[in-house]
Amino acid sequence: MAYVINPTGRSRRRRCGCGCGGCHGGPWAYEPSPYCRNVIYNGPCPPDPDSPCQPPLPPPPPDPPCYTSPMGPMACAYYAQLGSLTVPNAGGVLPLNTIEQGNQGVFLNNDGQITILRPGTYRAQFALSIPPGAAVNTTLSMTLNGVPLPDASVGVSGGSGNACLFACFQVTQPGAVLAITSSAPFSIADNGCGTLASLNITQTGPLCG
């Protein structure tokens, strides 16, 4: 706060401008600034949440270096296998060839091996539906470049049912390969049950670090 004396001699309290180095008008100003004189308090402003004399906020921290793609920040793909599903060898990849949908230039499907061409952060969801009468005994794993992703394996044993996998991961270099592998061979015949296996891949953000 500051006290000023107007030309009539009456004291009136008013608020000073930023820094309180003089009277610059303000919400409590009674006279234009040319008539302000004899400022009693001319030091720094005390803290006042309603005052315009607030110190500037510190600048926000800089953004981390991020990969920026000219194709945009998001991409997605959907692959599915309908009819029959066969994995002939232990450690083989589940084929996902019946339905192939995805951003061109980002995903390539080679018989269930999905090549991701854009670095970034991704989320993948896989589902397997085992129809009645089929016997599947294996462990399914979601792998990236041949290495199982953390907490992305599930054991399947017995007849009909469903199995699901979920993982979030980062692709640091173009050309990473995502796949669903089986620890044992199995085969599910075409019995008209529709979608047997499906894989959704979504880019949730750029590569930051």
Indicate whether 62 belongs to any domain: no
What's phi and psi for 184, nearest 5 deg?
-140, 150
Indicate whether 80 belongs to any domain: yes
Q: What mean pLDDT do residues 178-190 have?
A: 92
Q: What is the pLDDT of residues 87-142, one digit of tens each?
A: 999 999 999 999 999 888 899 999 999 999 999 999 999 999 888 888 889 999 99
Indicate whether 69 belongs to any domain: no
Tell me, what DSSP letter sits at residue 37?
B
Indicate whether 58 belongs to any domain: no
Tell me, what DSSP letter sits at residue 39?
-
What's phi and psi for 172, nearest 5 deg?
-90, -25
Indicate whether 61 belongs to any domain: no
Q: What is the pLDDT of residues 44-59, one digit of tens each?
A: 555 555 555 555 666 7
- 34 with 136, same domain: the answer is no
- Pairing, β 147-156 against β 11-14: unpaired
- 1 with 98, same domain: the answer is no
User: Would the pLDDT of 32 be above 60?
Assistant: no
pLDDT band at 161 (very low <50, low <70, confident <90, very high): confident
Question: How much is the pLDDT for 132?
Answer: 82
Indicate whether 67 belongs to any domain: no
Range of the domain at 36: 1-53
Question: How much is the pLDDT for 39?
Answer: 42
Q: What mean pLDDT do residues 68-82 have?
A: 75
Give dist(CA 195, CA 205) in Å, integer.
Answer: 29
Question: How much is the pLDDT for 50?
Answer: 56
- 49 with 81, same domain: the answer is no
- Contact 23/4 with Cβ under 8 angstroms? yes
pTM score of the predicted model: 0.64
The token duo for 10 is 């009456």
pLDDT band at 197 (very low <50, low <70, confident <90, very high): very high
Query: What total number of domains does the chain contain?
Result: 2
Largest CA distance in the chain: 103
Question: How much is the pLDDT for 164?
Answer: 94
pLDDT greater at residue 6 or residue 159: 159
- 48 with 80, same domain: the answer is no
Indicate whether 71 belongs to any domain: no
- 43 with 84, same domain: the answer is no
pLDDT greater at residue 18 or residue 87: 87
pLDDT greater at residue 36 or residue 118: 118
User: Would the pLDDT of 79 be above 60?
Assistant: yes
